[in-house]
Structure 1
């Protein structure tokens, strides 16, 4: 509402004006009132929708390697490669989804459209399992899904079409729903800024921990009841996700872009103008800094300051040059690139539990009672999720408040320091995984099981606990730290893209893992040798692969440490 010059504001209206959240509207297009919108009242709906979405996603992805090697009759190396390729694509598509959301549709509309597409993809996936079961029922049970029992080309095409439809849907939903949740907190308000930091912790805690029991039941249904039902339940859950998200509409805050220009266009113009002015002398820092406008970034990417110049020097017409805020936004994007590259080693290690760890656990004794055996996929879920459920509340409620008193920052521990510790834990987990795999192979040889693919290696599941526990704690520090870091360090209009950049690290890691597995299997299986990723894991050498990953992770950790020494954090208040 616009107040005219001759109008008077009553005493009762003053608190309401002070309670308005800047650059934010409610679902009816009115200015958002702080006391009636946003914060945890809105975030609770969004976190609930995020948890339901993760349940649907992990409900199909956690056990997918067993579906590929069992129901679809794919070799282990092929299944691991296909699975990593799908994971990689699913983690890269958020870049496209975030671009469309931040440039055209907005986060809210993208979330709605993605939910509808998600339900469609999951429904098709369940239908593909029905068609496969109907065809497989005609096979001779003794054939064990070989030759005549392998799925035909049409069945495989429909299955992968459905699977990648799910990947496209989550590519639009994942970055937008988390960014939309973080948007519910005003970073200019001290209390809400601290709550925003906690939001990322609780988001990961609930989305990783609260789905343990449902996913355990879901993997059990897939392994022991039917894959049709196991894929159908996630489709129903996604329908509930959409309903839950829409229920919270009256409480949501919707961010307003004050500039109006497409943020990608605005930042691209900075690079174009800087290149055009490459022959001009770089302006001195004191000339291009305006007090309270441009954060000091030292000598980083000073060439971008040339975008502030014209051929005749400083221009008075704002339409001819970029603003200092535009230059700082472009500079903040460039500063993220070295950090992004340094985390790729971690992302390759992160891709292993869902595929190779699960196949390893499938070879050992998983009996909890004489009559009940835990599904292999559920073991990873139980260990990692339990660690996250315990570690994150302790981190958020005990460690962070103490760190805030020391560092005087809302996040408590600097995000780069948090990520660094997570990378170190991830390196430790893959080293332990290599040692455990060496012991598993030794146990198999000692008991004469090297040439018996279906035999159970007499080895307790607790041998795998350390690597799973370290992976879980590494996620608490590295994964949540990466989410908060990339969200906070990108321009205000590109928050979805920031989270998509974090997801793209995982995507590239999965694709690199897929490439490494395929290449190494081809190289190590020459001359009739079984190779590192043989179908019979008792004759494979996953330990060699893990040692190689440990070396790559160590190099990534060293590079990350070097890059963070010169990194300058972005300030939140930058006037454009």
Structure 2
């Protein structure tokens, strides 16, 4: 007994990565983490420098390139809804990842082929074949991303279902998952961007294409070897459950709600899935009223739903009040892959003996994230806990708000930097862009990570995957919003400076600083809207 207890104590002290697991465990998770690292390396390798490829090789203007980058980035964060729906309703997570990895790899190969079409002396602005190949490859990649993002992290968590230390192991897995995302982004912003600018775009796309092909082969042939456990058979789409409540409530729109909520249709007593009734959004309660013959009504979920199912929809509606205020945050962060790069190209890119590609400055964003994550856990959280009394230090909504404020400050700094650059022309060193990237990196630690935590924690237990995808849609909406803002600014300011507007091809004849001040003002308005909605939010009551 004593020996067994000592062995158990030693097991608890052993690092999680070294503990044995039943089922898939960490051996399977290494395969999933490798897949996510490959995904992030390829995606960031495109996104970090896409504006340079579109302007320098495809021949687009600065405005068109900024618009197309934002539209593509937005699509990459919109397609996870498609992937989540297919995984939850038909194929399961493992098969969905395998299918979309194949699409992703084809997209990277197509982009590599597009780079081989371009020559230094070719006028590519009128080359329709080149443009068609580029955008075919880009949107195949966007579709591939949609099948991996919503499935990889849940599939990793599935590997610990039968493990006694499952909660701790899952937490450790998510830490490593986030670590791999940032390592992939860091490698892309340094190695891949440098290869693209110095060795050529063909090699810059061929490297991540080869990495994705290797990830596809590993996932296809090593899943059994690693003991990768597939998720359970798809239980049906959460969207169907949501629609059932809406349809049933509409059908029963003419009935009276009972004065006692216990008369509403509910799961059997003792069912662990039960969610208690709330008074908010009372119209939806009509979906749980037995308005016709009980036998007939209970035979169809489109006629009668449980209170638990209705409350799940109410939780989504509460989240939807906060979601729009986060969208503009991602419109601000979209500047890192568009206007920040264009601003850097107009600055002095020499740093000592090196000529630094403008997109490489995004490395400071990743470094900021890697520094801020441990600092948040080890320093800020304990200090904030003493002040607020909240076990998290900052509440989930407070964490989101800090990130929104930091993004506004980054826009103000960028505006001041651009005004100084215009006065001094190319004499301003590109290194002065580093604080902008670092401020937005810190903002992401608060808002991007906080958003995932908030939506996961406040979502219904049966819709956590859907809500994770919805949080990614905020990134898509922010990118589309940025694309629209750029287009409107270009149209509204075109009469200035002989038609160049605020963001012309030659930024020395534009007013990019005014654009950044506009983004700062809109960020402040958005922050006020967030404060208003967050003060009225009611947190989910823990069961």
Name stretches of at least 5 consecutive residues in structure 1 with no aligned partner.
1-33, 140-144, 445-456
Task: From 345, 352, 364, give the equivalent of 1:362.
Answer: 345
Task: From 99, 105, 110, give the equivalent of 2:85.
Answer: 99
Task: From 463, 468, 481, give the equivalent of 2:450.
Answer: 481
CA distance in 2, matches of 1:525, 1:396: 47
Q: Give, in angstroms, the shift of residue 191 of structure 1.
A: 6.2
Give the structure 2 partner of residue 212 of structure 1: 186
Query: In 2, are the aligned partners of 1:309 and 1:315 still within 8 Å (CA)?
Result: no
Q: Give, in angstroms, the shift of residue 234 of structure 1.
A: 0.8
CA distance in 1, matches of 2:529, 2:274: 28
Give the structure 1 partner of residue 14 of structure 2: none
1:256 paired to 2:232: yes
Q: What aligned pairs does 1:340-419 form with structure 2 within 5 A after superposition?
A: 340-370=323-353, 372-380=354-362, 382-396=363-377, 413-419=394-400
Q: What aligned pairs does 1:99-498 form with structure 2 within 5 A after superposition?
A: 99-133=85-119, 136-137=120-121, 139=122, 145=123, 150-184=125-159, 192-193=166-167, 196=170, 199-213=173-187, 215-245=189-219, 247=222, 250-256=226-232, 260-283=235-258, 284-285=260-261, 287-288=263-264, 294-296=274-276, 298-311=278-291, 318-320=298-300, 321-370=304-353, 372-380=354-362, 382-396=363-377, 413-444=394-425, 457-498=426-467
CA distance in 2, matches of 1:208, 1:46: 15
With 90-99 and 273-282 compared, the bigger mean Cα shift is at 273-282
Q: Give, in angstroms, the shift of residue 69 of structure 1.
A: 0.9
Query: In 1, are the aligned partners of 2:399 and 2:450 still within 8 Å (CA)?
Result: yes
With 92-101 and 530-539 compared, the bigger mean Cα shift is at 92-101
1:515 paired to 2:484: yes
CA 1:293–1:57: 2 relative to 1, 3 Å: closer
Query: In 2, are the aligned partners of 1:362 and 1:376 still within 8 Å (CA)?
Result: yes
Give the structure 2 partner of residue 556 of structure 1: 526
CA 1:201–1:268: 2 relative to 1, 3 Å: same
Q: Give, in angstroms, the shift of residue 257 of structure 1.
A: 6.3
TM-score, normalised by the number of residues in structure 1: 0.81
With 430-439 and 551-560 compared, the bigger mean Cα shift is at 551-560
Give the structure 1 partner of residue 13 of structure 2: none
CA RMSD of aligned residues (A): 3.0
Instruction: Report the number of matched residues.
Output: 512
With 225-234 and 211-220 compared, the bigger mean Cα shift is at 211-220
CA distance in 1, matches of 2:359, 2:233: 44
Query: In 2, are the aligned partners of 1:69 and 1:75 still within 8 Å (CA)?
Result: yes
Give deviations 1:529-571, integer Å, cap 9, x for gaps: 3201111111111121112212222222222222223333446
Query: In 2, are the aligned partners of 1:179 and 1:487 still within 8 Å (CA)?
Result: no
CA distance in 2, matches of 1:176, 1:270: 26
CA distance in 2, matches of 1:182, 1:558: 37
TM-score, normalised by the number of residues in structure 2: 0.85
With 277-286 and 531-540 compared, the bigger mean Cα shift is at 277-286
1:49 paired to 2:35: yes
Give deviations 1:259-300, integer Å, cap 9, x for gaps: x45432222111111122223333444555878654457432
Query: In 1, are the aligned partners of 2:92 and 2:233 still within 8 Å (CA)?
Result: no
Q: Comparing both structures, which one devotes a greater share of its residues to helix? A: 2
Give the structure 2 partner of residue 68 of structure 1: 54
Q: Give, in angstroms, the shift of residue 346 of structure 1.
A: 0.6
Query: In 2, are the aligned partners of 1:433 and 1:546 still within 8 Å (CA)?
Result: yes
CA 1:313–1:301: 2 relative to 1, 3 Å: farther
Give the structure 2 partner of residue 26 of structure 1: none
Q: Which has the higher contact order (CA 8 A, sep 6+)?
A: 1
